[in-house]
Amino acid sequence: MENNNWQASASLELIKRRARMLKDIRAFFDTREVMEVETPLLASSGNTDPHIESLQSIFRGQHYYLNTSPEFAMKRLLAVNAGAIYQICKAFRDDELGNMHNPEFTMLEWYRPEFDMFQLMDEVEALVLALADENIAAFTRYSYAQVFEKYANLNPYLATANDCRECAVQHGIEQPVGLDENKDEWLDWLLTQLVLPCLPSQQLTFVYDYPESQCALARLSKNKDGVVVASRFELFYGETELANGFHELVVAGEQRQRFENENKIRLDEKKPAVKIDEYLLSALEHGLPDCSGVALGLDRLLMALMNCGSIDEVLAFPWQRA
């Protein structure tokens, strides 16, 4: 029997649509005088985030990591006053496979000195609208608290882990084993199982002001109610995450502490610690400009633009055919 897996998974129409999308992205940033850059895909350090696993390679006996995003290297360019920059590149994550995941995927990441989180959200919206044909509806914006109160009747900043558990019971949501008193894990579970499925399908929604404990690489600030939150946003199409953005943390000592805390969590979860990126920390010590940055998954964006149900439909050769 003939093996047809040598053929592209995506249709020729989708391959051409991807090419046009990439061309239009470059035109968008060229008009706004944002410079395209390239940074290495293979690095001596990786991502300490306990929720993200890096693919590894070995060169001359030394372990290297395929980047999960170009963020760290791009920030090193920001520290030498590169100005507004963007990059379209491949990114890699271990053990991610499914209708929305491929271990190798295409990412657009850009940074805007002197932009706050909301200015960058405006630009993300402008870019998506510039790339869309006519099937993208208006954007909606909710704070993390607003979207939880609207769809889960829960204040995520004040709730305890037990409050989250009771919320799951009230809404008939499965209670997975192992969450115990970990409030952040409970909030993530309620977000994916209850809140996001309630968002309107085929509509784009920004969620911003995440809890302080979910700050990642974002700076902390106080919202209008005086609650300390992470200056971070995500963009969803229906319940599918498309983008993740930060008003960037620029303090080297605080960033080092966050990396070390993440490695402690990894060890507690029986995962290996990841080598911390000392180059990035040196760049932060040198001085990073006040800026905001965002990573946008281009495969998922193309799925939204073309109303596709599987990432394989927009990839020429997904993992199984690579």
Instruction: Show the domain range for 100.
Output: 4-137+252-321
Residue 1's pLDDT is 65
Residue 174's pLDDT is 85
Whether residue 68 lies inside any domain: the answer is yes
- Give the whole-angstrom CA distance, residue 88 versus residue 36: 8
Q: Which two tokens stand for residue 146?
A: 């607003």
Residue 137's pLDDT is 65
Q: Which two tokens stand for residue 258?
A: 């966050």
Whether residue 192 lies inside any domain: the answer is no
Query: pTM of the prediction?
Result: 0.94
> In total, how many domains does the chain have?
1
Report, in angstroms and rounded to the nearest whole number, the Rg of the chain calculated over CA atoms. Answer: 20
Residue 135's pLDDT is 66
Whether residue 301 lies inside any domain: the answer is yes
Residue 219's pLDDT is 96
In order along its 322 residues, the chain shows pLDDT tens digits of: 678 889 999 999 999 999 999 999 999 999 999 999 999 999 999 999 998 999 999 999 999 999 999 999 999 999 999 999 999 999 999 977 888 999 999 999 999 999 999 999 999 999 999 999 776 767 999 999 999 999 999 999 999 999 999 999 999 988 877 777 889 999 999 999 999 999 988 889 999 999 999 999 999 999 988 999 999 999 999 999 999 999 999 999 999 999 999 999 999 989 999 999 999 999 999 999 999 999 999 999 999 999 999 999 999 999 989 8
Which residues, 6+ apart, have CB-to-CB distance to 251 below 8 Å?
284
- With CA atoms as reference, report the closest residue to 75 among 291, 306, 234: 291
Whether residue 295 lies inside any domain: the answer is yes
pLDDT tens-digit map of 205-233: 999 999 999 999 999 999 988 999 999 99
Whether residue 296 lies inside any domain: the answer is yes
Whether residue 191 lies inside any domain: the answer is no
- With CA atoms as reference, report the closest residue to 192 among 150, 155, 238: 238
Directed axis angle between helix 278-286 and helix 71-78, to 10°?
Answer: 30
Amino acid code (one letter) for 48: T
Q: Which residue in this structure is represented by tokens 């693919």? A: 55
Report strand pairing: 220-222 vs 139-143.
unpaired
| CATH code for the domain in which residue 120 is found | 3.30.930.10
Whether residue 102 lies inside any domain: the answer is yes
Q: Any idea what DSSP says for residue 114? A: T
Whether residue 186 lies inside any domain: the answer is no
